[in-house]
Amino acid sequence: MRFAHLSDIHLGFQKHEALQKIEQQVFEKIFDQCIARKVDFILIPGDLFHVNIPEMRVQKFAFAKFRQIYDAEIPVYVVYGSHDFSPVSNSVIDLLAEVGYITKVTKATSSDDGKIKLDFLVDKKTGVKIAGLSGLKVGKDREYYEKLDSSSLEAELGFKIFLFHGGISEMKTESGMEGEHMPLSLLPRYFDYYAGGHMHKFNAQKFDDHPNVVYPGTPFAGYHSDLEDNAKGQKRGFVIVEFEDKIKSIEFIEIENTRIADSVNKELQDKIRDVDPTQQVIIIKVQGEMTKGKTADVDISAIRDELNLKGALVVNINKNQLTSKEYSITEAKGANKEEIEINVFSENIGQLRFEQKNLVGEPGVQLAKKLLAGFVQQKLENEKNADYNARIKKNAFGILGLDTDAS
């Protein structure tokens, strides 16, 4: 049996259209994987939405996706996060629960002595017992947990999962974006799995009385700093847990979110929004090293157009100091086509690290030249595509000195 655990999706956070698209694509990919991997149920401990009532575009998207999960007969168990929380059940979470696409986990009653008693709900198919508490606005959480009647929760037998939304001191990271943290001891003990939300980076730890405390982190972004972390290569995704009567494995599934170039473009756009370029000479220098993507994808013309449109006198943008870890081709000049080609090869071959001597240096340039000549051969009249492809391929392998019999 297996379940998926995701959190802090923050649907509706992005204002920029290109980023809204990524926000949705990432969520779609996760749900697609949940269906493909046949998970028995999905846990979402909070901040599914960025606000309790997001704009209609976001709601429409979410309802369509949850409908798919519902049709695939995968139950979804949810608690509020600090962002989509509503003290009076005025959240799109409550709409989704009302139509039956998701189930709100928190079943709390207060007893006469001021204690808060939580009831379990039981997942029909697996028999797993689930309890949880919603995230509240800052500072209120701790009060709630202090009043929690833990003993009845701890005494319950069977495979148990606890959903919560909040920072735990013992799992604190350097990011400092999560606000207050509470000690782990406030969470009831002896659950098999603690499905956490609120912390935006994947974090899974084991403790004596709390065997598996897991935060999948945001799959894309819920703070602006998340986008910066993404640009620095922070892995994003969700978690899939295999279990029988005990946990068998906890796997972090990475979901590719953004091309680095997109976040550079976004950063540039944000920066120029703050300046009034009217009648000004604007000089922008972009520098640094991109961990992924190509420098060519950083779209300077869009920035230039926007500044010109706003009445800038002269716009001068320079990205010569921007480099990428990924291979990118530097332009080269020459008097004719052949010279340009050779210069491009000579300029760029230094980026390659191969042990084979014939692939680097001057021999490499000569080899590249021959290969290019091989590739630009036209298709013969009446030649079938398959025959043409085979001929070009065979020729290329021949130039590389590779045995083609196997192919």
Q: If binding is defined by CB under 5 A, does position 8 make contact with Mn ion?
A: yes
Stretch that binds Mn ion, among 12-20, 41-49, 300-308, 390-398 (CB under 5 A): 41-49
Question: Cα(227)–Cα(19) distance, rounded to whole angstroms?
Answer: 10
* 3 state SS of 370: helix
Q: Which is nearer to Mn ion, 188 or 196 (CB)?
A: 196
CA distance 262 to 394: 39
Which residue of the set 10, 50, 83, 198 is catalytic? 83
Placement of tokens 């269906």 in the chain: 35
**In the bound complex, what is the minimum distance in angstroms from residue 169's beta carbon to Mn ion?**
18
Query: How many residues make contact with Mn ion (CB under 5 A)?
Result: 3
Window 333-372: residues binding Mn ion (CB under 5 A): none
| Closest distance to Mn ion from the beta carbon of 124 (Å) | 29
> Is residue 23 a contact point for Mn ion (CB under 5 A)?
no
Query: Do β-strands 108-110 and 103-104 pair in parallel, antiparallel, or remain unpaired?
Result: unpaired
Query: Is 215 or 345 the residue whose CB approaches Mn ion more closely?
Result: 215
Distances (CA, A) of 46 to 78, 95, 117: 7, 15, 20
Strand, helix or coil for residue 62: helix
Which residue, 6 or 303, has its beta carbon nearer to Mn ion? 6
Residues present in the chain in total = 407
83 catalytic residue (yes or no)? yes
Provide the minimum distance between the beta carbon of 314 and Mn ion in the complex, in angstroms, as a whole number. Answer: 43
Applying CB under 5 A, does 47 fall inside the site for Mn ion? yes
CB 390, min distance to Mn ion, A: 54
| Shortest Cβ 81–Mn ion spacing (Å) | 6
Instruction: Look at phi and psi of residue 136 and say left if phi exceeds 0, alpha if psi is from -120 to 50, else beta.
Output: beta
Closer residue to Mn ion (CB): 40 or 226: 226
Reading the block at residue 99, the tokens are 């139509």
Stretch (H or E) spanning 224: helix 224-231
Q: Tell me which residues in 207-226 interact with Mn ion (CB under 5 A).
A: 222
Q: Is 229 in the site for Mn ion (CB under 5 A)?
A: no
How many beta carbons lie within 10 A of that of residue 108, not counting itself?
Answer: 17
Nearer to Mn ion, 219 or 222 (CB): 222
- CB 19 within 8 Å of CB 266: yes
Q: φ, ψ for residue 149 (rounded to 5)?
A: -80, 90
Binding residues for Mn ion (CB under 5 A): 8, 47, 222
Residues annotated as catalytic (active site), given as ranges: 83
